[in-house]
Structure 1
């Protein structure tokens, strides 16, 4: 009986050691070959459509979610005493092929020149912005492959490549002043990097959360 008990205990110890070894190997492998973060989100460059002159908004031909073509007329203002030869100044055209993500103007509203009326984004130029800890930044190189998981599509995997690495920590752009008291606590800073999609299908929403896994070896 004692022999069987001893064998059982040895077997349990071997299993525990094997499990711990597997866990240690897993974390070693992940930290050696990848840099991962959940502090990432889908981004897109917003383009604003603004009036060239001040005047009342007479027409607004789009709604949020509409797809528009470059140079398409999206809105029209009252000429407000301008000669007919300047009619182009009263028109607001789309500067890009894109999707309307925000509409701020209302028909009948007086708009000042340069105010944002419509915000557009090019859905073919989405990218992921990921914030990487400064202690891991030396492992990151432009062109490295990236596995991307987007919360919007949990079961679907995307791939991409590191496009650029930020030149400043996020904290340096904060509007809050740094602490000058004696209670300073050192915090690991995060540097933004831009990840370009290799290819993607489906509708991805800018601002949605993502998880990235960068192949560093």
Structure 2
């Protein structure tokens, strides 16, 4: 009799636990779209000279911030004629940002348009995620989102959908995915979605961090 009571109790616990887990899973699936295909990103800007010449001065290293209009470097241009003195051209910041990568070396020869550094505004980072085409109809611009960033296990970030892509990722690929054999296999396409965070929770975010996203339907 005692064993029978214990068995019944165990079965009840299993049923209750299974029911709770099922209810939780149903709630998550019915109310949210979740994905680990997400990263922290920012608007990257390539910095270069408008003129060819020699980089005689470079004022910023990785991690340094600057404002719009600041002089980042100076290029000495070659004279058009032998009798014409060399002139200098300033490399000006088109917008405020932070140098996140640079390969600029003083006295190196530079070409017009060649990138000497990459920058982004670290105060304006956002989350880019790729959602299945079958999920896109369930969200809209303004949908609330919860974000977990792998680098900060103790923090939960909130935000909202700011932009939904107008084409699938494959439609922007330079490589054609057309199957010439005639055997067609349908593949679920992904659409890029941009999520703007409400705040950084005091954390130092940088482009490229992995994230997990949950968006309300």
CA distance in 2, matches of 1:109, 1:101: 20
Output one character per residue of 1:95-140: Cα deviation in whole Å (capped at 9) or x when no partner.
Answer: 1111001112222221111111121101111100011111211111
The equivalent of 1:53 in structure 2 is 51
2:28 to 21, 25, 30: 30
Q: Which structure: greater helix fraction?
A: 1
Please show how residues 163-202 of structure 1 align to structure 2 within 5 Å.
Answer: 163-178=162-177, 179-181=179-181, 184-200=184-200, 201-202=202-203
Matched, 1:147 2:149: no
Matched residue, 2:14: 16
2:76·2:86 contact (CA, 8 Å) conserved in 1? no
Between the aligned partners of 1:185 and 1:104, the Cα distance in structure 2 is 44
TM-aligned CA deviation for residue 191 of structure 1: 1.0
Q: Hey, what does 1:209 align to over in structure 2?
A: 210
Matching residue of 1:133 = 132
Name the TM-score, length of structure 1 as normaliser. Answer: 0.90
Bigger CA drift: 171-180 or 92-101? 171-180
Map of 1:80 onto structure 2 = 78
In structure 2, runs of 5+ residues without a counterpart are none
Normalised to the residue count of structure 2, the TM-score between the two structures is 0.90
Poorly superposed stretches of 4+, deviation over 4 Å: 82-87
Over aligned residues, Cα RMSD in angstroms? 1.9
How many residue pairs get matched?
212
